Chain A
């Protein structure tokens, strides 16, 4: 649909303004102009007005809630008699000169009769296609390319979870298992492949405990922080490991041999206090047993045992 917007007036100037972009700046400008008596055409590329601020939790520097500031303005804009909102549209052509422009705006179809639509949202709920990312402003990949090996690995992982309706967590788990952390470049490609905003993938990667954004050591020492282990001195074991490995919980030794982590409960409360090193589980650990246990994991990585190593021989 192409609309021609021209307004004639006697002095050659017209009483109408077009604002391009309905972010918070465009909205505020439109409101001010509309109050001053101008007819405002507010043009926005996205299907709805609001822009980046509508996606923010807080605003700098006052930490005010972004939506609390923005939403009254959205409502005012929509209700103002002097403002005409044209969304899902792009500037096509500008003719004329200062004071009297002729503008052609190209509006993308919505396949909906906008005059009749009440905005109830039922169509969105019932649409079988999910995860259409409307706010994907940046190209998640940019210039970042994966080398052949990485991209093959990622492809395999993606194929494995192709059938899942919400594959992102499973994919990240497999990536994390493969690299022992989530490399940023791979994360970008995951976001791109799953058609999710990088911010959402990042949100998931930082929320769940099992993901790490920094490389981890060859052996991950996990100390159980469950209640039974706590009562039986699990925190002392953690402190002793921090001393012995000279890293804080969450850290990795310089030689990248050990990473030290706290874990919620491992569910082996009968053997408290418990630690695991990669797949091996050690129960009834004491501070005195630690050096011997750690000694096994010095030097070359040992082949993963099919069973876990014993608690009493530590």
Chain B
């Protein structure tokens, strides 16, 4: 390996390392400013020989950002500001006293939990794909190599045939993490066997599902894992070219990917004659332009070819004829990132994780109405209850849990009665949802399930490419019915009509977008029919969301007359004297909810 930019600090040892999270979430909470302040303070105190500040990729615990981990003690600091820096350096670095007030306090307790390894959010996780998260600087290839990076690639190139690699991946039981769960090894084998001049592989990083950000996080925290996985895949399949199709909404991930590719090229890990093995492979990054349907593989190929991304009929499958007519293998970011671990630790080890049909781990983004929002990696087969309540820390503000939505717009909602269901591809399918890319959106009693169904159909309506009439018109028709129900104009026969439309849309649409589009409606109808009935029959929105069906009222017993809501109201229709209960002019109210948001006494009621 060429000794080029290998910096001295990879080998030098330090008394302490401050690992600052530089994922998108923490960066937006000024983590770079904090790093600069820390470095300045450390230099000023003359500690720069003993202490090092490292910016890492996303640590997953976005809700508590900006996050810093103090090594070697493993102390977890959260919600840092620049003002905390002098105190932190003075107390912890100089006097050796960890700063309690910057540590994590679990939602139900008041005792601080100093160590990362003791925090529930991290404790139940099993890191395979995210093995390097928060431990390395994603912009330095040396740190990846120091954690055994590219060893799997070397192993493959020096001692394994392509067929052996495919056999290992098959034996590991790895299935596509993009959502459909097709066995990866079989897919690779099909592309390998396909006839054609030149083959190509694609990494699908067009993470379209709203509420999912694992692919962004993997690329931001460990881009080389994806590159190594792709290089191994290319060797197994016999491809010389690869593409990463990444969303343009992820500028930081894109930047890190470019840096990683440049470094890998410089080290001879991409390009001609990799590691002197005679195998050549190179990568190009393609920036998406914002179209959900590009997650579908034939659309993605059309987009790469510079066309409007309309899916086409399969067969021929991309494995037979994909990009520019070449046999093409497309896998999701997380799938690629799994590959190096499978190669280096063996198929048997990987297959020991998970359930009968779904092996390994899965990365989920746990978001919505849950205390610990963030990214978690858990073994397949874990129950939804463990994710939401043990790792996620339950529902904030003592509210009641209602459902978890999985699988994005193609998925469904899982009610409380099914919380103990072990998560794998098949079991989720049985209850009317899908694994999808791994977004878990937790919903509480304040979430209206009819509104959620309407929301997803609104999303799909605008993202349908319009090729198939059933998808283009059918989704719009279903959306209009749901919008009517939310507006209080629902009729009892609407529910049957929705079911009928759902069948037509899913049967007669070409790609998975239309095929799964009715899922949000069907699953909410299945598990939350009472809410639909309340909207239609009683013209009430039990969760207090649908604007046409609710009124805001101030509880005179709770109102202290602080006038916060009066000042916030955009229509100036909250009246009353100071220090006395206020009243809302319900006729003129536009139901924006500002009053409820601003009230500190929970005095604004929704009915």
Contacts and interface: CB of A to CB of B under 8 A. Distances in A.
B210 A310 contact: no
Interface in B267-316: 286-287, 289-292, 303-309
B287 A173 contact: yes
A308 B289 contact: no
A168 interface: yes
Interface in B312-367: 324-325, 365, 367
A89 interface: no
Given A227-B408, A231-B369, A236 B593 contact: yes
B24 A268 contact: yes
Given A227-B439, A232-B369, A307-B30, A209 B308 contact: no
A169 B289 contact: yes
A233 interface: yes
Contacts of B250: 267
Given A210-B290, A271-B62, A286-B597, A308 B28 contact: yes
Contacts of B63: 270-271
A76 B374 CA distance: 63
A202 to B, nearest CB: 10
B212 interface: yes
Given A125-B325, A204-B308, 15 more contacts: A170-B286, A230-B452, A231-B441, A240-B592, A264-B208, A264-B249, A265-B209, A265-B212, A266-B249, A268-B25, A269-B365, A269-B373, A270-B65, A270-B367, A288-B568
Contact of B594 (A208, A230, A240): A240
Interface in A181-231: 200, 203-204, 207-211, 225-231
Given A167-B306, A208-B291, A228-B368, A173 B212 contact: no
Given A227-B210, A288-B597, A240 B25 contact: no
B570 interface: yes
B594 to A, nearest CB: 5
Interface of A: 125, 165-170, 172-173, 200, 203-204, 207-211, 225-233, 236, 239-240, 243-244, 263-272, 279-283, 286-288, 306-312
B518 interface: no
A267 B207 contact: yes
A207 B311 CA distance: 13
A290 to B, nearest CB: 10
B248 interface: yes
B413 to A, nearest CB: 11
Contacts of A125: 325
B275 to A, nearest CB: 26
Given A267-B213, A310-B28, A272 B307 contact: no
Nearest to A177: B248
B140 interface: no
A128 B166 CA distance: 31
Contact of A268 (B62, B81, B305, B309): B62
B211 A227 contact: yes
A187 to B, nearest CB: 15
A227 B441 contact: yes
Interface of B: 24-25, 27-30, 32-33, 61-63, 65, 81, 207-213, 216, 247-251, 286-287, 289-292, 303-309, 324-325, 365, 367-369, 373-375, 405, 408, 439, 441, 443, 447, 452, 455-456, 459, 463, 465, 568, 570, 592-594, 597-598
B291 A209 contact: yes
Contacts of A204: 306-308
A208 B210 CA distance: 17
20 contacts: A169-B306, A204-B306, A226-B211, A227-B210, A227-B408, A227-B455, A231-B369, A239-B592, A244-B570, A267-B212, A268-B213, A269-B211, A269-B367, A271-B28, A271-B63, A281-B24, A283-B25, A288-B568, A288-B598, A309-B28
Interface centre among B289, B368, B405 (most CB of A within 10 A): B289
A280 B66 CA distance: 16
A310 B248 contact: no
A264 B208 CA distance: 8
A208 B368 contact: no
A264 B289 contact: no
A264 B290 contact: yes
Contacts of A307: 27, 30, 32-33
Nearest to B34: A307
A239 B61 CA distance: 29
Contacts of A228: 210-211, 367-368, 373, 441
A266 to B, nearest CB: 6
A207 B308 contact: yes
Nearest to A167: B306
A265 B568 CA distance: 28
A233 B591 CA distance: 13
Nearest to B570: A243
Contacts, number: 177
A167 B375 CA distance: 35
A300 B170 CA distance: 59
Given A208-B289, A266-B249, A271 B25 contact: yes
Nearest to A170: B287
A226 B210 contact: yes
Interface centre among B211, B306, B373 (most CB of A within 10 A): B306
Contacts of A308: 27-28, 30
Contact of B291 (A165, A200, A207, A281): A207
Contacts of B249: 263-267
Contact of B308 (A203, A279, A311): A203
A287 B594 CA distance: 6
Nearest to B213: A267
A309 B29 CA distance: 7
A287 B568 contact: yes
Contacts of A282: 28
A194 B303 CA distance: 16
B23 to A, nearest CB: 9
A172 B289 contact: yes
Given A267-B216, A269-B365, A311-B29, A231 B570 contact: no
Nearest to B439: A227
Contacts of A168: 306
B210 to A, nearest CB: 4
Given A239-B592, A281-B24, A166 B441 contact: no
A63 B303 CA distance: 28
A207 B465 contact: yes
Given A239-B592, A270-B63, A173 B289 contact: yes
A44 B63 CA distance: 67
A166 B592 contact: no
A310 B79 CA distance: 12
A168 B286 CA distance: 12
Contacts of A283: 25, 28-29
Given A264-B290, A269-B365, A166 B304 contact: yes
Contacts of B374: 270
A283 to B, nearest CB: 6
A99 to B, nearest CB: 50
Nearest to B66: A310
